[in-house]
Amino acid sequence: MTQLLPVLPTVDEHHVDGRRYPHGVAFMDGQYLPMSEAKISVLDWGFLHSDATYDTVHVWNGRFFRLDLHLDRFFGGVERLRMKLPYDRKKIESILAACVALSGHKSAYVEMICTRGSSPAFSRDPRQAENRFMAFAIPFGSVANKEQLERGLHVAISETVRIPPKSIDPAIKNYHWLDLVKGLFDAYDVGAETALILDTNGHIAEGPGFNVFVVKDGSLKTPAFGVLPGITRRTVFDLCAEMGLSATAVDVSRAEIKGADEVFITSTAGGIMPVTRIDDTAIADGQVGSVTRRLKDLYWRKHDDPAWSTAVSYP
């Protein structure tokens, strides 16, 4: 029989990582680090079991957009998962601002994460794990690129069902993305650019990192059930109130979305993004609609408004 290991490899003292990462600054264990140094243990339950919650806020022209709402959602998730953060809200705000200021990015994608962590003896009891907080700021990224934002996205509806709210409360922003990633591959297989997946009743739910809205006869609808209550989705409700448009959260069927006058998706990663084609159906005349354009313009204008945004002090 051949020996499996005729010569034992040596154990290196430190990990050397030759990969490249986007430019940015991360915070973990009380230290600010370049992105290439921000690593978690393979024993962290956040990695092994997706036992984590997070939030993503963006910075645009040097200002956080609706940071308070993102912090509310993050702290809500941490509490519901029975985790404990080592820092209070003020400190977390200052850590996020420091990551952005140190990165120098005027437009940034800023993520805060709390993982279950692990215990020294790798106990299977989650109560014994030491929860971990980390954060990072990297350049702003968008679900849709410039060309897609101008002409509207081509979306495919996948048969994949989003994880039911009775399994995972969608209000806890989480990394349970296997359904969403499957939806994306289903979409790529039919030549579309991104996906919408279904709720447990066969209605439209959400997509990989975004909520969806339909516009019909000047009124807006967005799925109510089994979706993350997105901050951009909430912002659309606020903008609609200001613009005198009606917007409601209700079930949205496939027929309704395909028969809509306009469709758009919403995410911190890109804002309000038009959809002009679903499966083989063009939405109305296949052009970006006027309600979507007006909402998108107002959304970006709000980014300089001190009532909706907070300045970062750069060195």
- Paired with 112 in beta bridges are 55, 135
Q: Which two tokens stand for residue 242?
A: 């200001």
* Min CB(66)–ligand PLP separation in Å: 9
Of the candidate spans 27-35, 153-161, 204-212, 282-290, the one that interacts with ligand PLP by CB under 6 A turns out to be 204-212
Q: Which of 253, 196, 200 is nearest to 226 (CA)?
A: 200
Contact 192, 155 (CB under 8 A): yes
Find the helix or strand (DSSP H, E) in which 56 lies. Answer: strand 52-60
Contact 92, 133 (CB under 8 A): yes
Pairing of strands 262-267, 108-118: unpaired
Residue in 44, 51, 193, 206 binding ligand PLP, rule: CB under 6 A: 206
Q: Using CB positions, name the residue nearest to ligand PLP.
A: 230
Based on CB atoms, which residue is closest to ligand PLP, 160 or 268? 268
Of the candidate spans 22-30, 33-41, 147-155, 206-214, the one that interacts with ligand PLP by CB under 6 A turns out to be 206-214
Give residues 224-253 in contact with ligand PLP (rule: CB under 6 A): 228, 230-233
- Alpha-carbon span 245 to 266, nearest angstrom: 17
* Min CB(171)–ligand PLP separation in Å: 11
- How many chain residues touch ligand PLP (CB under 6 A)? 13
Contact 276, 154 (CB under 8 A): yes
Of the candidate spans 76-84, 89-97, 110-118, 260-268, the one that interacts with ligand PLP by CB under 6 A turns out to be 260-268
Per the rule left: phi > 0, alpha: psi between -120 and 50, beta: everything else, 30 is left
Rounded to the nearest 5°, which phi and psi values hold at 166? -75, -20
- Alpha-carbon span 152 to 276, nearest angstrom: 5
Residue type, 214: V
- From the CA atom positions of the chain, what is the Rg in Å? 21
Determine, following the binding rule CB under 6 A, whether residue 292 of this chain makes contact with ligand PLP. Answer: no
Residue in 267, 276, 292, 309 binding ligand PLP, rule: CB under 6 A: 267
Determine, following the binding rule CB under 6 A, whether residue 213 of this chain makes contact with ligand PLP. Answer: no
* Min CB(13)–ligand PLP separation in Å: 37
Residue in 103, 268, 292, 309 binding ligand PLP, rule: CB under 6 A: 268
Determine, following the binding rule CB under 6 A, whether residue 56 of this chain makes contact with ligand PLP. Answer: yes
Find the helix or strand (DSSP H, E) in which 240 lies. Answer: helix 231-243
Residue in 75, 210, 264, 299 binding ligand PLP, rule: CB under 6 A: 210
* Min CB(181)–ligand PLP separation in Å: 11
Of the candidate spans 83-91, 114-122, 205-213, 242-250, the one that interacts with ligand PLP by CB under 6 A turns out to be 205-213
Residue in 115, 158, 194, 211 binding ligand PLP, rule: CB under 6 A: 211
Contact 230, 270 (CB under 8 A): no
Residue in 77, 183, 209, 226 binding ligand PLP, rule: CB under 6 A: 209
**Where do we find the tokens 């679900």?**
143
Q: Give residues in contact with ligand PLP (CB under 6 A).
A: 56, 206, 209-211, 228, 230-233, 266-268
